[in-house]
């Protein structure tokens, strides 16, 4: 699993996919020597191609979303700089980009920078026209105190925004989350779709540290732009659970759901429902939010409706993959079993408040305002699975 240290650049951004699937059945150990699948062909949306070699900073370049954003920027003829917490990961990132068919991966430059420290950020944003702030701390389990997650998420975002403003960048796109939109709403009609007008109620029921961290970090970002941003523009992308082609051994907690289903590492499907979006479409929306004039000052819910239950995902895998999905369970695990396991497993405890919840969302704003056209959620599920087979992360 990717970047599971407390303040890593994990940039999967939807907590509902946190590992309720760690039901003590272990997947087989993954091989360290894994071939990389070829990246899908990127087709540039109108208005996203660079007219000159403008420089884009992508924070968290070793992460699942970050590396797809780098690929998308390179395909659109941008120069790319990326931050990683340790330059020791540079060769791994370059190898992944090259194996994924990136155009001119050697042109990508690297800066060592940490969201919890000031060092490196001035260098990272120097001469950049745009910043895609993708990096964010993501918990493997609930922290002992919520501030362990909230403070670095909020302060890290502000650190990037200050550096971008001081460097004269044009626009920053902040990767927030559906966790900043759909949590803590009391007595809400479960059929009413969430939109960009909604904000997570941080004092509401079932709102954990991760949801609070994404909500408070995004609110702090908007406050900064209003009060101290100067000429800096900002747009925000709020993805749901992110699936899609895996490019290397570093994955994400959302991908772990598919791994565990395909491996037969879980006895059944928890009663969880969540939105899904393909990582390639997340990268596309970041570029649209970065360049489209109408994206300035807006947030965009990033999903491919309708939401899917874990059982929906399992059935999709069975129907479309045939024998390769023979280990996938399609029975449902009762809620009381998950709640009981939550007492012993902090990862499972994170999703207990979401059991049986329905939180539909709408992507109408991104589609109508920016012309964004995401793949179907089922296609995202299958693309994930096929890449896992190709890489050998899951054995057929």
Secondary structure (H, E, C), the chain: CCCCCCCCCCCCCCHHHCCCCCCCCCCCCCCCCCCCCCCCCCCCCCCCCCCCCCEEEEECCCCHHHHHHHHHHHHCCCEEEEEECCHHHHHHHHHHHHHCCCCCHHHCEEEECCCCCCCCHHHHHCCCCEEEECCCCCCCCCCCCCHHHHHHHHHHHHHHHHHHHHHCCCEEEEECCHHHCCCCCCCCCCCCCECCCCCCCCCCCCCCHHHHHHHHHHHHHHHHHHHHCCCCEEEEEEECEEECCCCCCCCCHHHHHHHHHHHCCCCCECCCEECEEEHHHHHHHHHHHHHCHHHCCCEEEECCCCCEEHHHHHHHHHHHHHHHHCCCCCCECCHHHHHHHHCCCHHHHCCHHHCCCCCCECCHHHHHHHCCCCCCHHHHHHHHHHHHHHHCCCCC
| Range of the structural domain that residue 244 is part of | 15-391
Q: Which of 236, 218, 231, 389 is nearest to 320 (CA)?
A: 389
The verdict on residue 4 lying in a domain is no
The verdict on residue 7 lying in a domain is no
**Residues 6 or more apart in contact with residue 191 via CB below 8 angstroms:** 358, 360
CATH number of the domain within which 324 lies: 3.40.50.720
| pLDDT (tens place) for every residue of the chain, 396 residues total | 333 333 334 454 443 434 334 333 333 333 333 444 433 434 444 455 555 689 999 999 999 999 999 999 999 999 999 999 999 999 999 999 998 999 788 899 999 999 999 999 999 999 999 999 999 866 555 667 888 888 989 999 999 999 999 999 999 999 999 999 998 888 888 889 999 999 999 998 888 888 999 999 999 999 999 999 999 999 999 999 999 999 987 777 789 999 999 999 989 999 889 999 999 999 999 999 999 999 999 999 999 999 999 999 999 999 999 999 999 999 998 988 888 888 887 767 767 777 777 888 999 999 999 999 999 999 999 999 999 999 999 998
The verdict on residue 10 lying in a domain is no
Q: Is the pTM of this model over 0.85?
A: yes
Structure tokens at 11: 């940039």
The verdict on residue 5 lying in a domain is no
What integer pLDDT is reported at residue 48 of this predicted model?
A: 59
The verdict on residue 8 lying in a domain is no
The rounded distance, in Å, linking the Cα atoms of 218 and 211 is 11
The verdict on residue 6 lying in a domain is no
What integer pLDDT is reported at residue 20 of this predicted model?
A: 39
Give me the phi and psi of 350, to 5 degrees please. Answer: -60, -30
Q: How many domains would you assign to the chain?
A: 1
The verdict on residue 216 lying in a domain is yes
The rounded distance, in Å, linking the Cα atoms of 208 and 342 is 14
The rounded distance, in Å, linking the Cα atoms of 373 and 366 is 8
The rounded distance, in Å, linking the Cα atoms of 133 and 165 is 13
Buried b (16+ CB within 10 A) or exposed e, 348-358: bbbbbbbbebe
The rounded distance, in Å, linking the Cα atoms of 353 and 350 is 7
What integer pLDDT is reported at residue 24 of this predicted model?
A: 32
**Residues 6 or more apart in contact with residue 204 via CB below 8 angstroms:** 183, 184, 185, 186
The rounded distance, in Å, linking the Cα atoms of 177 and 82 is 21
């Amino acid at each position: 699993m990717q970047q599971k240290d407390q303040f890593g650049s994990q940039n999967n951004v939807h907590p509902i996919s946190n590992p309720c699937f760690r039901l003590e059945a272990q997947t087989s150990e993954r091989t360290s020597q894994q071939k990389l699948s070829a990246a899908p062909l990127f087709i540039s949306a109108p208005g996203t191609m660079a007219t000159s070699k403008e420089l884009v900073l992508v924070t968290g370049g070793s992460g699942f979303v970050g590396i797809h954003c780098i690929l998308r920027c390179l395909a659109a003829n941008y120069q790319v700089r990326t931050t990683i917490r340790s330059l020791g990961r540079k060769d791994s990132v370059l190898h992944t980009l090259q194996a994924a068919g990136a155009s001119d991966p050697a042109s990508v430059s690297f800066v060592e920078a940490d969201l919890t420290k000031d060092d490196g950020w001035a260098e990272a944003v120097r001469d950049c026209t745009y910043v895609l702030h993708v990096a964010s701390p993501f918990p493997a389990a609930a922290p002992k105190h919520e501030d362990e997650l909230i403070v670095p998420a909020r302060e890290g975002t502000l650190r990037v925004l200050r550096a971008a403003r001081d460097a004269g960048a044009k626009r920053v796109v902040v990767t927030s989350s559906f966790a900043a939109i759909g949590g803590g709403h009391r007595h809400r009609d479960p059929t009413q779709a969430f939109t960009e007008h909604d904000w997570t109620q941080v004092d509401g029921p079932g709102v954990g540290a991760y949801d609070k961290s994404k909500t408070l970090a995004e609110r702090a970002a908007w406050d900064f732009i209003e009060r101290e941003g100067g000429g800096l523009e900002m747009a925000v992308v709020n993805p749901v659970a992110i699936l899609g082609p895996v490019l290397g051994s570093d994955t994400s907690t959302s991908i772990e759901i598919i791994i565990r289903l395909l491996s037969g590492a879980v006895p059944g499907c928890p009663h969880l429902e969540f939105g899904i979006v393909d990582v390639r479409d997340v990268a596309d929306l970041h570029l649209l939010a970065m360049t489209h004039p109408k994206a300035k000052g807006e947030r965009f819910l990033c999903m491919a409706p309708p939401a899917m239950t874990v059982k929906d995902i399992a059935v999709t895998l069975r129907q479309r993959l045939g024998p390769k999905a023979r280990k996938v369970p399609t029975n449902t695990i009762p809620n009381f079993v998950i709640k009981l396991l939550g007492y012993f497993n902090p990862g499972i405890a994170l999703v207990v408040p979401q059991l049986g919840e329905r939180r539909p969302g709408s992507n109408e704003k991104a589609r109508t305002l920016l012309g964004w056209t995401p793949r179907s959620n089922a296609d995202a599920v299958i693309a994930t699975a096929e890449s896992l087979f190709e890489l050998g992360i899951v054995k057929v």
